[in-house]
Amino acid sequence: MKYRSTLHRSPEVSLREAVLRGSAPDGGLYMPVEIPHLQKDFLERLPSLAFPEIAREVGALFAGDEIPPQILTKIVTEAFNFPVPLVALGERLHILELSHGPTLAFKDFGARFMARLMEYFVQESGKQLTVIVATSGDTGSAVAQAFLGVSGIRVVILYPAGRVSDAQEKQLTTLGQNITALEVSGSFDDCQRLAKQALVDPAIAEKLTLTSANSINIARLIPQTFYYFAAAAQLGPSESLPVFSVPSGNFGNLTGGLLAKRMGLGVAQFIAATNANDVVPEFLRSGKLIPRASRHTISNAMDVGNPSNFARIVDLYDNDLQAIRRDIWGCSFSDEETLRIMHDVEERHGYVLDPHTAVGVLGWQCFAKQNQSAARGIVLATAHPAKFAEVVERAVGARPNMPERLAAFLDRPKKSISFPNRFPELQEFLLAANT
C-alpha cells in the first residue's frame, strides 16, 4: 500500500513514512494511492466479529505487508480494549457511544492506534521521534494518555488558553514525563497553524524527526473507519441503509466514514453537523470554502474555522461538488439549540448528551424532518457528558455522574507552559528541547 499527497507534488511513500512524516513535504495530507476494497465475505461476517477483529481486517488493507499480522493483532487488541456499544433512543435514532476509552472521548480510537503504530515504526528505526499536536480539547488528552511513557517518543501539545473545559485541560496538562503542554494565547486555529508550520520547517527537519498526532496524520484517520463498520454490524440488516450524523470540527471523523463507504460499507447519507463554525455546511450550500476565525461555543472541540481534513474530502471526490453533495448533507446549530436538545433528550429518554453529540442529534432530527423515509440514523457520540459537566448542568439542571478515571485528574496540579502565538518561539522551543 502506497500513500500520496493531496497536493500531488510529493513522491508516493510507504505507510511507515506517511505516519512518521505526518504531512507530505508539499504541505498536503497523505491518502492511499488506491482506496482498498473489502471482500463481500467480510461484510457478510461483520455481525459476528468483535471490534478488534474488525479493526484487524480493515487495518490490514491499509498496512499491506508493512506490519506483520501478529503485530497488527497485538496493536488493535491493546488499543481497543473497551466496548463500542450502539444504543437505541427510538425506532429510528441510535447513538454509537465512542466515549468508553481511557479519556472518555472518541479520540482514544485514533490516538491509541497511532501511538502503538508509531512505537513499532520507531523501534524499527531506532530514532527519537517528536510528536506535535494541536487540540481544541479531546485530541490533546487522548494523545497524552496514549503516548504517556512510550519510549523513543516525546509529545508537545498546543492548546488554546481558556478555550477547553476544565476536565479536558487537566487530562492533558497533569501527566508530565514525556508529555509537554503549551498553553497558547489564541484559538485552536492558531495552534493548528503553528503545528503545521513546524511540520514543514526546514530548520526543524534538519535537527529532529517531527510528526503530527492531529487527524492530518493518516494513522489517526485509519482507525476512524473501524467504528463505522462496528455500528453497521450492531444495527443489523434492514431494507434501508443507515444515515450517519457526525458532529464535525476538523472533519477527520466524517472523512473516516467516507473512506468506510468507499471501501464497501453501505451508507445512505452522511450528515456534517456543526456548531456556529459552519464553513463546511456553508461550502455545501455555496460551493465555496471560506475559512474564518473560529468562534467559541459550548461544543468547544468543534470550534474549527479552517478544517484540515476538508482537503481529504475534496481529494476523495476529485473536487466534484455535486458528488460531495450527494454523500454529505450539512447543517449547523447554535448554543441555544444545543442546550435545548440536551434537555429534551434527557427528559424524554433519560439519556444525557454531551454538547458535541447533541449537535449530532440535532443534525439527525433536521435531516429526518426533511427526508421522511424509513432510514435509521446513527449519531456518533464523541465524548462522555462528564467532560462538560458545567454545560450539562445548564441544560438539564444537574451534573452528570463523574467516572472515577476522570475524577482522578481533577485534583492533580496543572503543568503547562504559557506560550505566545508566534512561530519563532515554537521553533526555538522545539530545537532547544532536542539539545
- DSSP H helical ranges for 295-371: 310-316, 321-327, 335-349, 355-370
What's the CA gap between 424 and 405, in Å, rounded? Answer: 37
Which pLDDT score is estimated for 374? 67
Give the SS3 label for residue 33: coil
For residue 245, list its beta bridge partners: 271, 379
Q: Report residue 429 as a C-alpha cell.
A: 522551543
Active-site residue identified among 2, 40, 74, 107: 107
387 catalytic per annotation: no
What's the CA gap between 134 and 137, in Å, rounded? Answer: 9
Domains of the chain: 84-104+220-401 (3.40.50.1100)
What's the CA gap between 19 and 113, in Å, rounded? Answer: 12
Which pLDDT score is estimated for 99? 94
H or E segment to which residue 252 belongs: helix 252-263
pLDDT in tens, 210-222: 988 877 899 999 9
Ranges of the chain whose pLDDT falls below 70: 125, 374, 434-435
- Residue recorded with cell 486555529: 189
402: left (phi over 0), alpha (psi -120 to 50) or beta: beta
Which pLDDT score is estimated for 163? 86
pTM: 0.89
Which pLDDT score is estimated for 434? 65
Which pLDDT score is estimated for 124? 72
What's the CA gap between 385 and 168, in Å, rounded? Answer: 12
